[in-house]
Amino acid sequence: MKNIYGETIQDLEKYFESIGEKKYKAVQVYEWLYQKRVTDFSQFTNLKGETIERLKADYSLNRITIKKREIDELTEKYLFQLEDNECIEAVLMYHDYGISVCVSSEVGCNMGCAFCESGRRKKVRNLWPHEIVLQILAIEQTINRRISSVVIMGIGEPLDNYDNIIKFINIINHPKGIALGARHITLSTCGLIPKIKELSKLNIQINLAVSLHAPSDELRDKLMPVNKVYSITPLITTLKEYIEITNRRVTIEYVMLNMVNDTPECAKMLANLLKGLNVYVNLIPYNETSHLHFKKSSKERILKFYDVLKKEGINVTIRKEFGSKISAACGQLRSKEVQ
């Protein structure tokens, strides 16, 4: 049985037409689900009884379970249990401009980035659209507030789950759905070139963030196995094309690893690589974990790196640190409740 939270409004329009009903009922269902947040088909009072019974027969309203909630300053981490008992995590962050949620897209991850805790568990499966939507709904219900932005940056490589992610974006972006503007949705990828090309053709105005983390193939090969398939030069070419097609600025994510990729020479190489591109670099202080040997760059090394990029005319920011005390920071999420 399908979960109704994974259906786009177009899916529901086709469904109602297939059972001899008017397709406008899809909008009514969306209003109950996302605007009134009703979780019982019987309470969809503007639908006739036989339609409600048909919905009950064809769709579930099952939710995912919050197994654990941990709270740090300006950050909350949620461990969710799915219907097959697999677990994923999502993170809520309070910013001065609103509330954001970082959602997971897969159980486990196959990208195997050397510095990432989340990738220590191989991919078990993709998340279905409803399992991603329900991360948002469960958190909003818990805090009794609407979130203002979503980043698809939790466990998993979103573009490795492309179809389900596009469906998820459609659901949360729709004005009758969660109604998040496209520019309040950020998708983060380690650089799956064919899928970036596909994404560019959809004409959706979401934000694209690309995890680069090294300015040369030699170094990136060691840090990110994906580089052996999609190396830096074709990736940069693809980003140029993406920017031209979408007219959107791309974020370059760069995690700062002490004595690995944080030298002034690396900064100069990165600047040369990105010159003339409509991008900005987000320098991410590394979040250490007990299982991995990488160390966080000092504040001085990060600032020196930042200064080199600035002098070279590259737009750059240093990411504010969130949630490291509860292992909710970038690269620390797990899909399994284990040490």
Active site residue 89: yes
Query: Among 7, 76, 89, 131, which one carries the catalytic annotation?
Result: 89
Longest dimension (CA), the chain: 69
Please, what is the end-to-end C-alpha distance for the chain in angstroms?
A: 35
330's CB contacts (< 8 A; 6+ apart) are 153, 255, 284, 287, 319
Query: Among 87, 113, 116, 330, which one carries the catalytic annotation?
Result: 330
Indicate the residue type of 335: S
CB distance 253 to 282 below 8 Å: yes
Question: Rounded to an integer, what distance in angstroms lies between the CA atom of residue 26 and that of residue 51?
Answer: 12
Active site residue 113: no
143's CB contacts (< 8 A; 6+ apart) are 76, 92, 99
CB distance 59 to 1 below 8 Å: yes
Query: Hey, which residues are catalytic here?
Result: 89, 330
